[in-house]
Amino acid sequence: MRTVKTASGARAVQIVYSSRRGARDIEHIGSAHDDAEPEALKAVARQRLVAGQQELDLELNSSGSVSGGPLEIVGSRMEHLWDDLDRAYRARIRRRDRR
């Protein structure tokens, strides 16, 4: 998701989907003409980005211990997902071994 300034001075909210070889598809969500509109358009964009996706509950909190709820998205590299899956696996093994 990105916000860009248009030629008319408005701020456009867009979702950018990238694919192989640097190609991009851009979905225009809308143009904001005042200070309140960008946040509303970003909320619409967030809903479109997560539409149809299910939550993978790893039962981890930010310190890596067991809890509930979604993880904060801080990047889009696969390394983050792999690290969190590894932490969840190790936490489950530790819980199993305590029994």
Average confidence (pLDDT) per 10 residues, the chain, 99 residues? 92 86 87 92 91 72 58 69 88 84
Q: What is the pTM of this model?
A: 0.51
Same domain, 41 and 63: no
Same domain, 62 and 86: yes
Residue 63 pLDDT: 62
- Range(s) of the domain holding residue 83: 54-99
* The pairing of beta strand 2-5 with beta strand 11-18: antiparallel
Residue 13 pLDDT: 95
38-64 burial string, b = 16+ CB within 10 Å, else e? beebbeebeeeeeeeeeeeebebeeee
Residue 7 pLDDT: 92
Same domain, 38 and 74: no
Same domain, 45 and 67: no
Residue 10 pLDDT: 94
Query: Token pair of 78, please?
Result: 């696969």
Task: In whole angstroms, give the CA distance from residue 56 to residue 50.
Answer: 12
Please tell me whether residue 1 adopts helix, strand or coil conformation.
Answer: coil
